[in-house]
Structure 1
Amino acid sequence: MMMTLFCFSGCAKEETPTEISWFDDFEMGQETAERLGQNMVVDFYTDWCKWCKVLDDSVYTDPKIIEMSAEMIFIKIDSEKDTLNTRNYGISGYPTVVLMNPAGEEIDRIYGYLPAPDFINQINLYLGGTETLQDYLRRLEANPNDLEVNYTLAEKYEARSQYEKSASFYSKVLELDPQNEAGKSDKALMNLGFSYYRQKKFQRAIDTNTEFIKRYPDSELKEDVIVYIPYFYAEWGRKERALKLYNQYLRTYPEGENVEWVNNEIKKLTEKEKP
C-alpha cells in the first residue's frame, strides 16, 4: 500500500498535464487537498455567465495555469446547484475564484475576469501574503486615511457579500475625497448604492444614486447610475415607477450604451403583468 501510494505521487509529479483536472464536488476536492496538503483554486460559476465562459476558454487553457494545476486542487462549483457552498463563501457575482488553503479557509479571491498573466500574478501574490484582505487590513492599521486602501477594502468586502462593511469603507472614501480628485469617489458612491441595494435598503440605494447624479454630473458612470435607479425600484416591487424611469432613459439616451439592457428589463416587467 505504501509503495503504491509513493509510486503514484512520484509518477504524477513527473507528468506534465495537458489540461486541468477539475473536481466538480467541493467536499471531494477539499478532502483531496487536505490529504495532499495542497491549496485549492475554487471557481464559482453559472451557465449564463459570459465571463465564466471566457475564463474557461482563454485562462484555464493557458499552459502556465495548467502547469499550476499540478500543484494545486482545482474545483468548479455550479453556484445554481451547490447553493450551500455558494452561500457559505459569500459569492456575490460571477465568475468568482476563491483561493483556499487545504482546510478550506479563504486566502483571498479574484472577483470577475482576469486575463491569464494577471490571473497567475494575482494567485502568486495571494500565496505570498500580498494584496490579501489581511494584508490590506494591516495597511489600514498603519494608515487609516489611505484612500486606496479604504477603496480596496470596500471592494474586497463587497465581493464577500459583507455589504455593511463595504458600505462603511466606500463612505470613508467619499469622506477622504469628496471632489473625486483621485478618480475613486464616483465609483465609490455608485458601489455604495449597490451595497445598500444588496442589503434590500431600496430607498437608501435610490437616494444614493440620485445624489450621485447631482454630485458627479460629468462622470462617465452617470448613465449606468441612471438605469440602476429604475432597476432598484423594480426589485423593490414598484414596477410602474421603474417602467416610467426606464422609458425616460430611452427618450433621453436613444443611442445610449444601456438601451438593449433597458429594453430587456422593460420586457421582463411587462411580461410579468400579462395574465
Structure 2
Amino acid sequence: MKKLLSLTFLFFFLGGMTMAQSKINWLTFEEAAAKTQENPKMVFVDVYTDWCGWCKKMDKDTFSDPKVIAYINENFYPVKMNAENTKRKFMFRGKEYTEASMATTMRVRSYPNFVIMDATMENITQYPGYRQPEPFLTGLTGILDKFGK
C-alpha cells in the first residue's frame, strides 16, 4: 500500500512539473518591468496583432513547442503585446502608454515581431518574422550569447 501511495504521489508530482511547463508564462509589460527590478532578467516581447496569420501560426506551432516554452520561461520574462490595443493603459518610466503606443515606441512595423530587452528594460534587438521551433531557438540562443544574460 505504501508503494502504491508513493508511486501515485510521484506520478502526480511529475505530472505537475510537466504541466508547469506546458505553456509560456506570459506577463503584461508592467508585470515584466516590476519583476526585472526584483530579479534582473532579459525581457522577451511578442508583438502581435489579432489579424496576423503568422502570429497565430507562431502561437500554434512555435510557442506550443516544449523546448521553446522551457527556454523562454527560463531565460526571459515573456510579454505578449497587441500592437493595436489602444484601450489598456500602463505606466512605464513616468509616462503613460497603451500597448499600441509602446509597440510604436519600440519601432515595431511588422508582425510577428519579437523585441528583446535587457534587464534594464532597454531594447537591444528585434527578432522579426515567423520561425519554426528549432530555428527560433537557435536565433534566441544567439541573441543571448551576443548580449549576455
Deviations 1:175-215 (A, max 9, x none): xxxxxxxxxxxxxxxxxxxxxxxxxxxxxxxxxxxxxxxxx
Following TM superposition, by how much is the alpha carbon of 1:62 offset from its aligned partner in structure 2, in angstroms? 0.8
Identify which range, 103-112 or 93-102, moves more after superposition.
Answer: 103-112
Identity of aligned residues (%): 28
Structure (1 or 2) with the greater strand fraction: 2
| d(CA) in 1 for partners of 2:33, 2:130 | 24
**Is the counterpart of residue 105 in structure 1 residue 108 in structure 2?**
no
1:123-202 pair list within 5 angstroms: 123-129=140-146
**C-alpha separation between the residues in 1 aligned to 2:118 and 2:31?**
15
Specify which structure has the higher proportion of helix.
Answer: 1
Of 102, 122, 126, 1:85 maps to: 102
Unaligned 5+ runs, structure 1? 1-14, 131-275
Amino acid at match of 1:61: S
Match of 1:118 among 135, 138, 143: 135
Which of 15, 18, 29 is the aligned partner of 2:22? 18
Relative contact order, CA 8 A, sep 6+: which one is greater? 2
Deviation of 1:107 after TM superposition, in Å, equals: 2.4
- For 2:60, the equivalent position in structure 1 comes to 57
Instruction: Determine the structure 2 residue equivalent to 1:142.
Output: none
- TM-score, with normalisation over the residues of structure 2? 0.72
**Aligned counterpart, 1:31:** 34
**In 1: Cα distance, 2:144 partner to 2:57 partner:** 24
Show structure 2 runs of 5+ residues with no match. Answer: 1-16, 86-98
Say if 1:99 and 1:108, in contact at 8 Å, map to a contact too: yes
The size of the alignment, in residue pairs, is 115
TM-score under structure 1 normalisation?
0.40
The structure with more radius of gyration: 1
Indicate the RMSD between aligned Cα atoms, in angstroms. 1.5
